Chains A and B, each alone.
Chain A
Amino acid sequence: MSLLLDVLSWVLLLSGGLLSIVSAFGVLRLPELFQRMHSATILDTLGAGLVLSGLILQAGFTVISFKLFLVFLLLALTTTTAAHALAKSALADGIYPKGIDPEVVRAGLSEGLPGRQRIATDRARERVAPPASPQEDPPPQPSEEGGPPWA
C-alpha cells in the first residue's frame, strides 16, 4: 500500500515538474501574449496542482496535507483570476489574439457591459481603426497573418 502511494506520488511530482518545464519553455518561446499566458496558466494550475497533490500523498492524512490543500486552493483562485484580469486588460488595450477577427472579439466585449467597460472597448476600437479623416494617410493595413501589426 505504501509502495503504491509512493509510486503514485512520484508519478504526480515528476509529471508536475515536467509540465512546469514545458510551460516555462512555452512562456519563453511562444510568439504572442495570449499563447504565452496560456502556457503560464498551465504552470500555475495544473503544474502546481500535480506537484501539490504528490506532496499531499507523501504527507499522508495530517495537518501538513491540509495546509498544502489550502495552498492549492489559493493558487487555483488567484492565478486564474489574475490570468482573466490580464487577458481582459490586454483586450481593452486593443491587443487581440492572432487569427481571430477583431470585430468578433469587440462584439463579445461590448455586449451588455456597463458604462466604464464600453468606454474601454470604444477606446480599443479607436486604436484599431482611428477615425478616418480625409487629410491623413489611410489606416495601416493588417499584416499578412491577419492580425493588426502590433499584436
Chain B
Amino acid sequence: MGVAIDIILLLFLLSIAFAACVTRNLFSAAMLFGIFSLISATLFVVLDAVDVAMTEAAVGTGVSTILILITLASTGYRVSPRPAGRQVLALAVSVVLGATMVYGTLDMPSLGSPDAPVHTHPIAQYYTEVSPVEMGIPNMVTPLLASYRGYDTLGETAVVFTAGIGVLALIGRRRRKDPLPIVEEFREGGANRHRVLRVISKQLIPPILLYACYVQAHGDFGPGGGFQAGVIFASGLMLFMLLFGVEHARRIIRPVVLEKLIALGLLIYGGVGLVNILQGGAFLDYRTLAHDPQHGLHYGILTIELGVGITVAAVITTIIYSFASHLRDHVMQRTLRLRQGADAAQTSPESGA
C-alpha cells in the first residue's frame, strides 16, 4: 500500500516538473510550483517527516507561490522565445550531471535500508533512544532542533533575520516627501470584488492563527515548533492581506511593530544563551535555568522556540507587506500615467498620438 502511494506521488511530481519545464506561461509555471510543493509535502508525510511536511505545506504552497505571483503581477507574464542552442546546451549539462549523480547512487544503500550509515551511526541511536529519556520530550525533532543543534538553529534564525532586513532594504517602505496620490479605485484593495470569498475566508483566519499558537506551544508532544508556527501564523496574516488589501493589513499590524518583532525574536534566542552564561553554564546550556536540569531544558526549549516563532512570523509578514506595497505603488503609478496620458490626449487632440 505504501509502495503504491509512493509511486503515484512520484509520478505526480515527475509530470509536474516536466510541465513546468515545457510551459511558456509564467503564471502556470508558478502555479505548478505551488502544486509541486503540496505534493512533496504529502511525500514528506510518507517519509515520516511530519514537521517538515507542515512547514513545506505552509511555505511552498502558500508563501512562496504568492510571492512569485505578486512579482509576476508587476513584471508581467511575457516570456521571450528562447534560442534552441542554449536549450540544447542546458539539457546536455543537466543530463550529464544527472547521469553522474545516478552513477553515484549505485554505491548508496537502498532507501530505508536499516544498515545505512545514517541509521547505524551511534548518534542516530542517541537521538532516537537516549534523547526522549534525557529530555523528557516525546517529539525527537524539537529537542534536536532547539537543544542539541541549538547553535545551528540560532544561525538559521539569524539568516532569516538577515533576509528580512535585505528585503526591507531593497523594496521596503521608502519615506517619500511627496507621497503618491491615491487612486480611488484601488484605495480598498484586496478581493473586494468577491463578497462571498471575503465573508467565508474571513471565518478561516482566526482558526488558522489559533492553530499556529497551538503548533507553537505543542511542539514538545506533537509535530510543531517555532518555524512551523511562524510560517502558519504568517500565512494566516497573508490570507487577511489578500482579502482586505495591504493598506488595511498594515493598519492592523503596523510595519513598525513588525520591525521591532523581527529583532525581538532573535534577542530572546540570544538572551537565553546569555542568561545561561550568567548562571554559570555554557552558552545555550538550558540545564542551568531551573533547579531540576530537565525542567531547565523544557523552559529553555520553549523560550527559544518562541523567539524563533516571533522572528519567522514577523520576517515573512514583513516580506509579504513589502511585496504587496510595491505592487500597489506600481499599479497606482501605472494607472496615473495612463490617466494623465488620456487627459493630455483629450485636452489637445491635435498634438496627441
Contacts and interface: CB of A to CB of B under 8 A. Distances in A.
Q: State yes or no: do A and B touch (Cβ within 8 Å).
A: yes
Interface of A: 74, 77-78, 81-82, 84-85, 88-89, 92, 116-117, 119-120
Contacts of A81: 196-197, 200-201
B185 A85 contact: no
Contacts of B192: 116
A88 B185 CA distance: 19
A123 to B, nearest CB: 11
Interface of B: 185, 191-194, 196-197, 200-201, 203-204
**Considering the complex of A and B, which 8 residue pairs feature the smallest CB-CB distances, nearest first?**
A81-B200, A85-B197, A85-B194, A84-B196, A81-B197, A116-B193, A117-B193, A77-B200
A74 to B, nearest CB: 8
A120 B193 CA distance: 9
Given A116-B185, A119-B185, A77 B204 contact: yes
Contacts of B185: 116, 119
Given A84-B194, A116-B192, A119-B185, 18 more contacts: A74-B204, A77-B200, A77-B203, A78-B201, A78-B204, A81-B196, A81-B197, A81-B201, A82-B197, A84-B196, A85-B191, A85-B196, A88-B193, A88-B194, A89-B194, A92-B193, A116-B185, A116-B193
Contacts of A120: 193
A96 to B, nearest CB: 17
Contacts of B194: 84-85, 88-89
Contacts of A88: 193-194
Contacts, number: 29
A77 B200 CA distance: 7
Contacts of A119: 185
Contacts of A74: 204
A78 B202 CA distance: 11
A36 to B, nearest CB: 15
Nearest to B186: A116
Q: Pick from B185, B194, B196, B204 the residue with the most CB of A within 10 Å.
A: B194
